[in-house]
Structure 1
Amino acid sequence: MKSLSIDIETFSSVSLAKSGVYRYVEALDFEILLFGYSVDGGAVQVIDLACGEKIPADIITALTNEAVTKWAFNASFERICLSRFIGLPTGEYIDPVSWHCSMVWAATMGLPLSLEGVGAVLKLDKQKLTEGKDLIKYFCQPCTPTKANGDRTRNYPYHAPDKWSAFKKYNIRDVETEMSIQARLAKFPVPESIWDEYHLDQEINDRGVALDIVLVQEAIGIDSRSHSELTAAIKHITELDNPNSVQQMKQWLADNGMETDTLGKKAVVDLLKTAPPELSDVLLLRQQLAKSSVKKYQAMENAVCADGRARGMFQFYGANRTGRWAGRLIQMQNLPQNHLEDLAEARSLVRTGDFDALEMLYEDVPDTLSQLIRTAFIPRAGAKFIVSDFSAIEARVIAWLAGEKWRQDVFEGGGDIYCASASQMFKVPVEKHGINGHLRQKGKIAELALGYGGSVGALKAMGALDMGLTEDELQPLVTAWRQANPHIVQFWWDVDRAATEAVRDKRICVTHGIKFYCQSAMLFIMLPSGRQLAYVKPRMGENQFGGHCITYEGVGGTKKWERLDSYGPKFVENIVQAISRDILCYAMNTLRCCSIVMHIHDEIVIEANQRMSLATVCEQMGRTPPWAKGLLLRADGYETDFYKKD
């Protein structure tokens, strides 16, 4: 036996969507119902465990035999469920080293992240059966007790033999579809280096991170009280039935002389500038109520495992345009920032449930709870967190690729890129908190908004007008930044030309060390690391402005599979972010033995013993990969007893 393709159907009273697979398998009623498998591409077998059949001994042995490659679509689900099935204790899982995931393979090819979606795009002969969702709901989830079903809370095979027979066929078809995907993508194998990254990702997900569950539960309780008191205060002033209703609130404001089309965050800030005292009080209360969200804390409570750790928060290749990770469950990628100076004191008050002291000292209770979300992540007892992140990684990568020497010089000298950019744009010296310091903000906004072809609209989207810039300043700012960065601007159009020639003329084009070529109805962009970005069914098309562009198929803003368009600066954004991701992977591999528990954007969080050196971690993280000669990297960090934004 060399390979084993697997698909399982399971039951648990824990919600998989809310809690994730690690918590899902801890339910006392968790069980595997069906085990579908194929050995070395042979006929698919299905073991009906729910009806007493047993998985053959050689198949059980193969699950942990590193010489046998296990395949599944979203393989972490099968691996974690089977870890529980073979009796591993909480917190221990089958070693991922011999497990491969056909969803990851699909993602490396720019395909959807669902079995149904991949089957449809590849036009497979054996598609996932559409009736599966109803069968999963019937057999795999608890049911509502009714008189008609005898007040039962679960459906067993004997309750609907015909449905059970169909469910077994569905299980077989899933294995067949997964195998068809492997066969269709066989000419584009996933490099071993990416499988190694996947295994590292699985190790990090298996390790998880400890949660301060006392803080989490007290925060939920405090938020509930805060929400009730804020709602009561608004009701007292407005006498509205439902002050959360946008329609009712807009009408009340209008009745009191203040017209508004929206009650979005920015609109409320603007209204507060001119609101009389009584209306101002209501708007301020509404602002607090809008912040009153404990979804992250509730997600933590749902996901935490029996040993107090949350697992499964990172999806490998979740952003398949660049290969970056996506957040799952607690969504680490969009945690609120913290600006409280006495974070530890506020945290302590929440942990003890002292609502009155919290309200007296911090006034805005919902905002305080929001700022404390990060601090719910803690190291194990006796350990510390070492948090290290790359300094201005995307700015460094684009400068290196484009050969923008003045920027390289800034990084080499340890300078501030925002000050240096403002200085280059306005031809005057700029120092943070010093000479012409007010220009740094303009340099920063330009750096964040304009590196990938953005113009006035990008500056506005980045909040330029809210930061004090005027409408008249925006276009000159765009012009000044582009004049200050001619090599980056040239890089955009060199990439545009190379991609266009690769698609239109079907020839290999290389620019700035990046290779573009088409093969089997795919556009590939080979990065300096050797990893490839893939774009499905590329062709020449027309953009909304009537100019030429490349179009390809992918998941768009509507989450549907559709035809998208791209051009030089957009491809540059993908390339720079993809290279930044590869640099993070290199650093994670370098620090693999250091117990990484989280990684967020360009930051790594290590659960370290007290002797581990922060300086050594930052030095190791800042090492330039061998494939990126000349790229100047720097990593900075800090030590902490709870996670925070330093």
Structure 2
Amino acid sequence: LRKMETLTALDNPNSVQQLKEWLADNGLKTETLDKKAVAELLESAPTPLGEVLILRQQLAKSSIKKYQAMENAVCSDGRARGMFQFYGANRTGRFSGRNIQLQNLPQNHIPDLEQARALVRSGNFTALEMLYDSVPEVLSELIRTAFIPEEGYKFIVADFSSIERVVLAWLAGEKWVLDAYSAKKDLYTATASQMFNVPIEEINKKSPLRQKGKVADLACGYGGSTGALVAMGALEMGLTEDELKPLVNAWRAANPRIVRFWWDVDRATLKAVKDRTITETHGIRFSYESGMLLITLPSGRRLTYVKPRIGTNQFDSECVTYEGVGGTKKWERIQSYGPKFVENIVQAISRDLLCFALENLKYYSIVMHIHDEIVIEA
């Protein structure tokens, strides 16, 4: 921050408005200073402005703010509590992260992690600045190391592998995915093999085909198309815009039962709301009761959608709408359709599997859990 103050002479260089005005005064106009915008500006910014933008990137790292959250949350015994909110995600029932927000901890890739940690713990920031290009980046990568077990204990971590992909395939009956999973095959490699009709043995983890299979798997499972691929970084990984639609088509052709599942669910929800009746598909029950659309999961738990009714989507087709907290964080009428309901169903079942595992491990000291992962102290 001091370096930013020196370079810009601003009272508060951390202020987005002040920094935007300073950049504009120096010939670099921008509407926003979000992560993507700063990265684009850096491509053409002259050296002095580029240095300021790099510092802005470092200061804006939200992960570093977790250290302050740790200080605020830690109890007198050195433990942090209240990290998870039960049923925080109202559509699926998944847990939400609170306080330190353990559900988005940055990964660490520093080869000399122990040395970096020792320097920070000793307060030797001069050496830290000499040895590493970016101190904020180092601090970000050290966040996971701030969580330590009680003396004489260790953390034991276990997680479900590719949980959403497998649950989706199980519900839809996409047998080749389940076979690949049972055989302990890499699912991104298996997806690429299925999409491009290439023997799985000819695709390795560094193969461009695997990368295409991976980004398609991540983007297309819930009806995503070219926009979802872009959001998942398809263009940044080297794909051209002309390649995106064929990639979507190839994924859907490789997963016909999943595609069919989307629209079976779409028809089931429409019929349940329109006729105020009970429908069922793929082992999932849909019913209209007391002004609610209820989706009954295999566990017996029910997802609830308030005041559902039939609306018209942007394609002039019928769709289900309901009331809830939308993207604006306000109560509003939300439009939905088959693939989106499928996403809710899959994530809800994945959550139920996590809760089943938590119940099975209840006699152990569970200290945290993140979507598909449980950490015990033993």
TM-score normalised over the length of structure 1: 0.56
Could you tell me how far apart the structure 1 residues matched to 2:16 and 2:90 are?
37
Could you tell me how far apart the structure 1 residues matched to 2:65 and 2:319 are?
41
Please list the CA deviations of residues 385-419 of structure 1 after superposition, one character each: whole Å capped at 9, or x if unmatched: 00111110000000111011111111011111111
CA contact 1:419–1:432 (8 Å) conserved in 2: no
Report the CA distance shift for 1:587/1:568 in structure 2 as closer, same or farther (over 3 A): same
Q: CA deviation at 1:443?
A: 0.9
Q: CA deviation at 1:337?
A: 2.4
Could you tell me how far apart the structure 1 residues matched to 2:360 and 2:62 are?
40
1:479 has 2:252 as partner:
no
The correspondence of residues 186-585 of structure 1 with structure 2, limited to 5 A, is 227-228=1-2, 230-232=3-5, 235-236=6-7, 238-291=8-61, 294-429=64-199, 434=204, 437-585=207-355
Report the CA distance shift for 1:582/1:594 in structure 2 as closer, same or farther (over 3 A): same
CA contact 1:315–1:327 (8 Å) conserved in 2: yes
Name the SS for the 2:38 alignment partner.
helix
Could you tell me how far apart the structure 1 residues matched to 2:36 and 2:79 are?
37
Please list the CA deviations of residues 118-163 of structure 1 after superposition, one character each: whole Å capped at 9, or x if unmatched: xxxxxxxxxxxxxxxxxxxxxxxxxxxxxxxxxxxxxxxxxxxxxx
Could you tell me how far apart the structure 2 residues matched to 1:382 and 1:340 are?
26
- Aligned residue type for 1:284: I
Could you tell me how far apart the structure 1 residues matched to 2:205 and 2:222 are?
29
Q: CA deviation at 1:260?
A: 3.5
Please list the CA deviations of residues 563-601 of structure 1 after superposition, one character each: whole Å capped at 9, or x if unmatched: 212111011000000000011111111111111010011
Name the SS for the 2:375 alignment partner.
strand
Name the SS for the 1:309 alignment partner.
coil
CA contact 2:203–2:209 (8 Å) conserved in 1: no
Q: CA deviation at 1:364?
A: 0.4
In angstroms, what is the RMSD of aligned CA positions? 2.0
Could you tell me how far apart the structure 2 residues matched to 1:579 and 1:285 are?
42
CA contact 1:524–1:533 (8 Å) conserved in 2: yes
CA contact 2:189–2:203 (8 Å) conserved in 1: no
- Aligned residue type for 2:270: T
Runs of at least 5 residues in structure 2 that lack an aligned partner in the other structure? none
Runs of at least 5 residues in structure 1 that lack an aligned partner in the other structure? 1-226, 609-646
TM-score normalised over the length of structure 2: 0.94
Provide the identity percentage: 70
- Figure out how many residues of one structure are paired with residues of the other and give that number: 378
Name the SS for the 1:317 alignment partner.
coil
Q: CA deviation at 1:309?
A: 0.8
Report the CA distance shift for 1:535/1:246 in structure 2 as closer, same or farther (over 3 A): closer
Could you tell me how far apart the structure 1 residues matched to 2:241 and 2:144 are?
36
Could you tell me how far apart the structure 1 residues matched to 2:215 and 2:262 are?
20
Q: CA deviation at 1:267?
A: 2.1
Report the CA distance shift for 1:583/1:315 in structure 2 as closer, same or farther (over 3 A): same
Report the CA distance shift for 1:297/1:248 in structure 2 as closer, same or farther (over 3 A): closer
Q: CA deviation at 1:505?
A: 1.3
Report the CA distance shift for 1:432/1:601 in structure 2 as closer, same or farther (over 3 A): farther
Report the CA distance shift for 1:251/1:431 in structure 2 as closer, same or farther (over 3 A): farther
Report the CA distance shift for 1:390/1:469 in structure 2 as closer, same or farther (over 3 A): same
Name the SS for the 2:164 alignment partner.
helix
Could you tell me how far apart the structure 2 residues matched to 1:299 and 1:569 are?
36
- Aligned residue type for 2:4: T
Name the SS for the 1:319 alignment partner.
coil
CA contact 1:431–1:440 (8 Å) conserved in 2: no
Could you tell me how far apart the structure 2 residues matched to 1:355 and 1:318 are?
38
Report the CA distance shift for 1:272/1:429 in structure 2 as closer, same or farther (over 3 A): farther
1:603 has 2:368 as partner:
no
Q: CA deviation at 1:288?
A: 2.1
Could you tell me how far apart the structure 1 residues matched to 2:203 and 2:121 are?
37
CA contact 2:367–2:377 (8 Å) conserved in 1: yes
- Aligned residue type for 1:522: M
CA contact 2:63–2:106 (8 Å) conserved in 1: no
Q: CA deviation at 1:500?
A: 1.1
Per the alignment, residue 362 of structure 2 pairs with 592
Could you tell me how far apart the structure 1 residues matched to 2:346 and 2:199 are?
29
Could you tell me how far apart the structure 2 residues matched to 1:496 and 1:249 are?
47
CA contact 1:253–1:279 (8 Å) conserved in 2: yes
Q: CA deviation at 1:283?
A: 2.4
Report the CA distance shift for 1:394/1:253 in structure 2 as closer, same or farther (over 3 A): same
Could you tell me how far apart the structure 1 residues matched to 2:196 and 2:330 are?
44
Could you tell me how far apart the structure 2 residues matched to 1:447 and 1:361 are?
39
| Mean CA deviation greater in 246-255 or 377-386 | 246-255
CA contact 1:431–1:437 (8 Å) conserved in 2: no
- Greater Rg over alpha carbons, structure: 1
